[in-house]
Chain A
Amino acid sequence: MSALLTDLRLPLSEETARGLALGQMVTVSGLMFTGRSRFHIRAIQDNVLPPIRFDEINAFFHVGPVMRQVGGEWQVVSCEPTSSIRFERYGPDVVRRLKLRALLGKTTMGPGTAKALAEVGGVHLSKIGLCGNALARRIKKVHAGYFVEELGKTEATWVFEVERFGPFFVDMDARGANYFEDLDRAARERMAEQLERLGVPRDYAWTSVSGEGCEAQ
């Protein structure tokens, strides 16, 4: 089903990244590296990075894959993208420092990362549905595993070679816009309408018992 989608070659060029539109569904082909919380914390707090040429591998896949070793070879059983939004504290610094053009993960990221992506010329690609098994089959080769002993298989950094990996959709473009912005604004408004319909006024507040700034009831 991904055959009809635009396939992005990795490493992603700035020009290609800047040409991507919010909501566009894509696949990617080439090399990517993985990481989660420990990657971000160690990169920024401890200045520890895996020995990767980030100009050649500029796609960061937020994932903790389920890995299995068969006859000395690493295999990916399943790799469900993890929630990128958790990495917002260090995300902008990591994007700037490594000049990342593609972040792949679940959910989205915040305004700090949006700004960094706009500066670098990069995008965030969000997963579509539960896709860990299909994605695992699109990994042609596990090139390397870094910090596997130290961090365990889930938080380790793996280098995957992938082909028509996806589908993903562009939730953050290279102009700093986010697919979920309008959607969430509308959802908040609809929630207020629904609460009103159920007899909860817009200015309703829970009883406050915390002293300073305590609202009168």
Chain B
Amino acid sequence: MIERKTIESAMYEAVKLAATRMPPDVLAALRRALDEETDPLARRHLEVSLDNAASAERGEGLVCADTGFPLFFVTAGAGTQLEGGFGSLWPAARAATARATAEAFLRPTMVDPLSRANPGDNVGPGMPKVELRFDGQGAGLEIVACPKGGGSEIFGTFYRMLFPSDGEAGILKFALDSIREGCYAGKICPPAIVGVGVGGTADLCMKLAKEAALLRPVGSVNPHPAAAALEAKLFAACRALGVGPMGARGVNAVMAVHVATAVTHTAALPVAVNAQCMVGRRWKAVVSADNLVRYSGDFQ
């Protein structure tokens, strides 16, 4: 039985780590990008960002001050038992988020959409958002904290319902134009990790895109050959736009393009794009059935 206090503290620690440490795969991708860029401004964007990540790791601030939307992705096994049942994940996420906000690891950013009132703790209807899935394995719990920055979510979210006759051409045009628009003047904070969802319903399509951007190891390849081919085409095209870090002249508009698919209606071809910014903020807490917690930034 995993205790409520274990869940809450694992969520809090994962948020704190995500806010202050850049994941190793993201860091490696940014260093590769720096090796490649030649434009002085593009290089400076990356050098400053890497310095910023190093200072956050030393306890001098955050990897980025826009800690954005508090998201948690939780995976449970068939044998997982939680104190208070699975419903206790939500109050635990709220308590962890409020504590991380009070301690200035998260900026109080969540507001009511109509009144714009800010409760000051990032907690309100729908937030923090907890996505729970069951993978059928074991009795533990995997919690990924993803405080998702505003730039990537606000300027990097695109959806369109295409039709079967629009074909791959339609997908390529939609995805590439979305990425170009998102990268304009550095809106989504390139080099971005771009998720492209194809298929499903509108909400599932966006969820595919979001999870492809946030949770997959940077540059991982979709196991399905058709999706992998689409990833390769889009990645190469993004690198040829002449746009680099923070929208400056360069090559690395994206670190990776991850495509995810779901079956869809025979009349439909829904496509969604969701971007993750260059900090790729995410950290994992792996909780065992006997309440031991291991933290990891490694998503390989």
Contacts and interface: CB of A to CB of B under 8 A. Distances in A.
Interface of A: 1, 23, 25, 38, 64-68, 77-80, 82-83, 85-86, 106-108, 126-134, 136-137, 151-155, 167, 169, 171, 180, 183-184, 186-188, 190-191, 193-195, 197-200, 204, 206-207, 209, 217
Contacts of B226: none
A27 to B, nearest CB: 12
Interface in B126-151: 150-151
Contacts, number: 174
B185 to A, nearest CB: 4
Nearest to B47: A129
Contacts of A171: 185
Contacts of A194: 176, 236-237, 240-241
A157 to B, nearest CB: 14
Given A66-B104, A187-B180, A194-B241, 14 more contacts: A77-B61, A78-B61, A83-B150, A107-B187, A132-B52, A132-B64, A153-B108, A154-B107, A183-B242, A183-B248, A194-B176, A204-B170, A206-B162, A206-B170
Interface of B: 41, 44-49, 51-53, 55-56, 60-67, 104, 107-109, 111, 116, 118, 120, 150-151, 154-155, 160, 162-163, 165-166, 169-170, 172-174, 176-177, 180, 183-187, 189, 233, 236-237, 240-243, 245-249, 278-279
A158 to B, nearest CB: 13
Contacts of A180: 184-185, 247
Nearest to A63: B65
Nearest to B243: A187
B165 A183 contact: no
Contact of A154 (B108, B185, B237): B108
B109 A64 contact: yes
Contacts of B48: 128-131, 134, 167
Contacts of B160: 206
A152 B118 contact: yes
A130 B63 contact: yes
B237 A191 contact: yes
Contacts of A204: 169-170, 173
Contacts of A152: 108, 111, 118, 120
A127 B56 CA distance: 18
A187 B64 CA distance: 27
A160 to B, nearest CB: 14
A183 B244 CA distance: 11
Given A129-B45, A152-B118, A191-B241, A207 B64 contact: no
A183 B190 CA distance: 15
A133 B166 contact: no
Nearest to B41: A169
A84 B255 CA distance: 24
A128 B44 contact: yes
Contact of A167 (B44, B177, B236, B242): B44
Given A130-B278, A183-B242, A195-B237, A217 B65 contact: no
Contacts of A186: 242
Contacts of A64: 65-66, 107, 109
Contacts of A83: 150-151, 154-155, 187
B52 A129 contact: yes
